[in-house]
């Protein structure tokens, strides 16, 4: 249990022809962070948005922009996404051969720096960079598409990272992404996640604001109120 839990709607399930309106819906309903999925057709078998769209979104919302780079050679594009207004950036460990350099670069540029792990990638791949991480994005589906089914074996990875956080070996946040909805969000919260990405469970619903509020209500039970002295 942490002192803060954030819900990050993913626009992947939104109506892209009315993106500003879609974003306003969740911003007005109290979304904390906006999750933007960048796909290149190489690292994942799908193509989405690039820096120009992120820059346009930046102008239409005050939400923190969490840019999830599902692209090969992410190091070539970091500057573009920073210039476009990304607040958080995650690269995939499977796609970046120079994680230490990437994470230092992000931090030097004032970006909240994260690494994403595919379901088949062990947490141990981050052992040597744990001290540099502001967040780890644990994929709970195989990246590439919205609306997939949550993979239960990823819960153990969330628990492991939570244990590292409890022992102070890791001081960053624990973000989860893929197949999460009001029906299973308690499972990832129980395991230790504190940033919850949800696409179809929010923008795929008739009433996105209501869906977000429901997830915020459930996650509210997991927030520890700090003791006052
Ligand atoms: C999947 C993306 C996710 C996606 C989640 O590759 O990284 O952020 O939008 O969508 P849902 O919540 O529908 O699984
Ligand atoms: Zn994502």
Mind listing the pLDDT tens digit for each residue in 103-122?
999 999 999 999 999 999 99
Q: Which ligand ends up closest to the CA of 143? A: 1
| Average pLDDT score over residue span 120-134 | 98
- Pick the atom of ligand 1 nearest to 11's CA: 9
pLDDT in tens, 5-37: 999 999 999 999 999 999 999 999 999 999 999
Q: What angle do CA 75, 108, 74 make, to 5 degrees?
A: 10
Q: How many CB atoms lie within 10 A of CB 3?
A: 9
pLDDT attached to residue 229: 60
Kindly give the distance from the C-alpha atom of residue 228 to the centroid of ligand 2, in angstroms, as a whole number.
36
pLDDT in tens, 152-204: 999 999 999 999 999 999 999 999 999 999 999 999 999 999 999 999 999 99
| Average pLDDT score over residue span 27-53 | 98
Give the three-class secondary structure for 203.
Answer: coil
Catalytic position from the list 66, 96, 134, 177:
177
Q: Please give the mean pLDDT across all residues of the chain.
A: 97
pLDDT attached to residue 226: 76
Q: Which ligand ends up closest to the CA of 43? A: 1
Q: Is 194 a catalytic residue?
A: no
Q: Which residue has the tokens 């500003």?
A: 20
Q: Is 207 a catalytic residue?
A: no
| Average pLDDT score over residue span 74-98 | 98
Mutate which of 37, 89, 212 for ligand 1 pocket (most atoms within 8 A of beta carbon): 37
| Average pLDDT score over residue span 140-147 | 98
pTM for the predicted model, two decimal places: 0.97
Residues within 6 Å of ligand 1 by CB: 10, 12-13, 35, 37, 68, 141, 143-148, 177-180, 197-201
The DSSP secondary structure of 44-100, one letter per residue, reads: SS-B---HHHHHHHHHH--SEEEEEEESSSGGGTHHHHHHHT-SEEEEETTT-S-HH
């Amino acid at each position: 249990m942490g002192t803060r839990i954030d819900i990050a709607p993913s626009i992947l399930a939104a109506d892209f022809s009315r993106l500003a309106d879609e974003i306003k819906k969740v911003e007005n309903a109290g979304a904390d962070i906006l999750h933007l999925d960048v796909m290149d057709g190489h690292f994942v078998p799908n193509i989405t948005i690039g820096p120009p769209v992120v820059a346009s979104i930046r102008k239409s919302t005050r939400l923190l922009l969490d840019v999830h780079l599902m692209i090969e050679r992410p190091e070539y594009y970091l500057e573009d996404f920073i210039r476009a207004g990304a607040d958080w950036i995650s690269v995939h460990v499977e796609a970046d051969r120079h994680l230490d350099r990437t994470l230092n670069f992000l931090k030097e540029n004032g970006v909240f720096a994260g690494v994403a792990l595919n379901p088949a990638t062990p947490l141990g791949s981050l052992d040597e960079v744990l001290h540099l991480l502001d967040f780890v994005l644990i994929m709970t589906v195989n990246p590439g598409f919205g609306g997939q089914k949550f993979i239960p074996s990823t819960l153990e990875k969330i628990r492991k990272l939570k244990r590292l956080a409890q022992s102070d070996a890791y001081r960053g946040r624990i973000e989860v992404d893929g197949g999460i909805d009001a029906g299973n969000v308690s499972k990832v919260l129980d395991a230790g996640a504190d940033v919850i990405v949800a696409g179809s469970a929010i923008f795929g619903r008739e009433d996105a604001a209501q869906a977000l509020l429901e997830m915020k209500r459930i996650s509210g039970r997991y927030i520890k109120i700090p003791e006052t002295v």
